[in-house]
Amino acid sequence: MGYNVYLKDKDGNDILPATSWATIQGKPNNLVTSNQLPTLTGQQRDGIQFVNGAYDWDHVNNGWNCCYRIADLGGFKLVELRLMFALNKDVTGGLAHAIKLPNIINPDQNIEMWCATNIEGTYVHHSGTDVDIEVHSGKYPANTLVSYYNHYLTTN
């Protein structure tokens, strides 16, 4: 058989739990309730710049394969970044700058992320607002799909 449990204050008075967020005293300003949880924005591509012959892989739908979404969490933002792109020229060694991302999604610190591609020795390098193709060996052929997907936090 269960027993009733009561919370008591320092004077021995019963404390009833608050059932409404509005009745809670001294709550932090940056907390949200379940009906106020942030949601991701729709896909955005404002401020994404293609350089050195890079282009959005989406030939049919007017370029929505390179985009981002943001969830504003108050003091910081969650960024979802999706990039499916190609370069219109071969890269045979070194770094080829491909995409400049907008400052609104710039991470606070250099995330310095490297992702392998399906081409041996070829990587996607995401550093701040720069996205590059880096070839350590072999060749990244022109017009070959590169796919990069990431989530990260920023206060920008």
Tell me what the mean pLDDT of segment 31-50 comes to. Answer: 81
Type and span of the H or E element at 50: strand 49-50
Cβ atoms of residues 124 and 115 within 8 Å: yes
Domains annotated on the chain, with CATH: 49-154 (2.60.40)
Residue 6 class from Cβ within 10 Å (0-12 exposed, 13-18 middle, 19+ buried)? exposed
Tell me what the mean pLDDT of segment 49-59 comes to. Answer: 91
pTM score: 0.73
Tokens 């981002």 -> residue? 68
C-alpha closest to that of 105 among 78, 124, 126, 85: 78
Positive or negative: CA dihedral 96, 101, 105, 107 = positive
Please give the residue that has the higher pLDDT: either 18 or 118. Answer: 118
Q: What confidence category does residue 143 fall into, taking pLDDT thresholds of 50, 70 and 90?
A: very high
